[in-house]
Structure 1
Amino acid sequence: MKSITLTIPPRINVFSDDELYAFCLANPELHIERDETGHIIIMPPTGLESSFINGELFGEVRNWNRQKKLGRTSESNGGYTLPDTSMRAPDVGWVSKERLMQVLPEELKKFAHVCPDFVIEVRSESDNLNELKAKMEKWLQNGVRLGWLVDPQTQTTTVYHPEREPNSQPFSETLSGEDVLVGFTINIQEVLQY
């Protein structure tokens, strides 16, 4: 099953940020995002295997952040309102204290206007790879400094940087958080083995 895009009729226009938040609250069983044109995207739940992978990767980033205390870590339910007006929720997101200082505390209770510094998107069984690649490019255009597209089907992670071509690495290679998640390294193959 692939994601569904809803088009809001012109007379209704586009949901405001508050209307989008209310729509999400009214439909808690749905995973909802909004693209930069105002289209509402509804994604099916992932299979358990994808959820396990998301959880492990979130845990690794969260544990690093607990030690470093350099920002905050979000999982797939945390929505960010981006500069292009889209609202997206990465499988794993990390936002620095510097960026968070620009956000009012009450804004964090909704879909705050802030772009994460780092994101991970995990390709689930129902995801279209080309749509995920386009989503990664949108993350970069909105201010993400480092992104990883983790693809269990090909056992590769594609690393995204602003103004550089994406670079794919096999799961067996150790990845670095570079100058974004300073001191963070992960070998996805080791993390996902049981």
Structure 2
Amino acid sequence: MLNPTVTIPQAFKVTHAQFKKLAAANRDVRLERTEEGELRIKPLFGGEAGAKNANITAQLWIWNRQTKLGIAFNSSTGFHLPNGAILSPDASWIKLERWEALTAEEKKGFAPICPDFVVELRSASDNMKPLREKMQEYIKNGAKLGWLIDRKNRKVEVYRQGFDVEILDNPVSLSGEDILTGFVLDLAEIW
């Protein structure tokens, strides 16, 4: 199976400042930086996966617009995590009080915060191992809830702080639990 994430060898490590310059000069490229400073180039979504991801983001955005409990983000948003990594989940959300605690300058760039909630959507060619590692990294850096949606096998891995990963087989919907109170992701059009 092909791994769609291109990993640059260790010799190509970049500092946070270098990453910011590289990302600014290449806005159409999906880049991430690991905790160790390694640069990762992520491929663009194909049409089908892009439409599914837009559906997830739209459902999250509509719920958030109604509740005004936080800020919802799409897959183009990178976050500077406490461990130094800069990652971009496919969809994410931050509680309003945490977002408002950031300065205006911090909000403009790669915000120095880990989202409270993250979603990663497996594309047809994605390898699960790097996605699982990324989900664990979010949780270790402060995410309270995360969903790894595996469309290929119609499974969802649910990540929570302090708990083992829960695997759901062909769920119809997902609950935002007490993190995103009242949010339910309808998976009918995601599968």
CA contact (8 A) 2:57 2:91 kept: yes
Structure-2 separation of matches of 1:163 and 1:99:
21
- 1:24-73 deviations in Å (ceiling 9; x for gaps): 12122321000100001001112111111110000000000000001101
Matched with 1:155 is: 154
What residue identity is the alignment partner of 1:132?
L
Matched, 1:76 2:78: no
CA contact (8 A) 1:171 1:187 kept: no
Structure-2 separation of matches of 1:174 and 1:64:
14
Q: How does 1:80-99 map to 2 (within 5 A)?
A: 80-99=79-98
CA contact (8 A) 1:172 1:187 kept: no
- 1:118-153 deviations in Å (ceiling 9; x for gaps): 000000123210110111000100000000001110
Matched with 2:15 is: 15
Matched, 1:192 2:176: no
Partner SS, residue 192 of structure 1:
coil
Query: Which ranges in structure 1 are unaligned for 5 or more consecutive residues?
Result: none
Structure-2 separation of matches of 1:125 and 1:186:
21
Q: Percent identity?
A: 34
CA contact (8 A) 1:46 1:126 kept: no
Matched with 1:30 is: 29
Which of 5, 16, 25 matches 1:3? 5
Tell me how large the CA RMSD over aligned residues is. Answer: 1.7
TM-score, normalised by the number of residues in structure 1: 0.91
What residue identity is the alignment partner of 2:163?
R
Structure-2 separation of matches of 1:73 and 1:121:
14
Deviation at 1:167, TM superposition (A): 1.1
Matched with 1:136 is: 135
Deviation at 1:87, TM superposition (A): 0.3
Query: Which ranges in structure 2 are unaligned for 5 or more consecutive residues?
Result: none
- 1:72-94 deviations in Å (ceiling 9; x for gaps): 01111000000000000000010
Q: Runs (4+) of structure 1 moved beyond 6 Å?
A: none
- 1:161-188 deviations in Å (ceiling 9; x for gaps): 0121111223433311011000111231
CA contact (8 A) 1:47 1:125 kept: no
